[in-house]
Amino acid sequence: MSRRTIQARDDSASMWMLKNGSAIMNASTLDTALLHPFQSNSPPPGIADITKAFNVSQTSIVTWVMNRDPYTEAVTPVLYGNSSDGWNANTTLHLPSNSTVDIIIAVADDSLDTMGHPIHLHGHKFWVLGSGSGQYPYSSVNAAPSSMINLQNPPYRDTTDLPMSGWLAIRSVL
């Protein structure tokens, strides 16, 4: 039986990170908008049953608001069921079951912090229809041109990123 020795190849042209953990300048970056499900999993076509649009803003060191409603932690977590005060919070959405919902989130222009943020819906996956910089200039997903919104075979995720000073459009069936 012959024994082969496999040596690690140090190909700096194909590397994106050095051994010390620092990134290499001019490295390729992953464009998550180009990711698609292995098997086609397109979102429901047509107009969503409900469209919700939010501007997310940091108004002070510890205060984040969505459409001018500050987020406050529920005294009794929603996880505890109907006894939670979180069900009545301004930042809790009440949506009908089996509805197609488009959610458009943008970082407000006047936010103290304009950095991006990971977005997820607890217990749900969603289609990432599009994202970009600046404010979303349309009232719905269907009003946007197809160059901005992908309704054919978009990524299907449980978490995605709201870009820095930008917007994100997702679709979910709840």
Domain 43-173, second-level architecture? Sandwich (2.60)
CB 172 within 8 A of CB 95: no
Q: Would you kindly state where each structural domain of the chain is located, as residue ranges?
A: 43-173
The torsion angles phi and psi of 152, rounded to 5 degrees, stand at -85, -55
Please determine, for residue 10, whether its predicted confidence score (pLDDT) is greater than 70. no
The torsion angles phi and psi of 86, rounded to 5 degrees, stand at -65, -25
For 14-70, what is each residue's pLDDT tens digit?
555 666 666 666 666 777 777 777 777 889 999 999 999 999 888 888 778 888 788
Does residue 31 come out as left (phi exceeding 0), alpha (psi in the -120 to 50 range) or beta? beta
Please determine, for residue 129, whether its predicted confidence score (pLDDT) is greater than 80. yes
Instruction: Give the model's pLDDT for residue 7.
Output: 47
Which letter does DSSP use for residue 44 in this model?
A: P
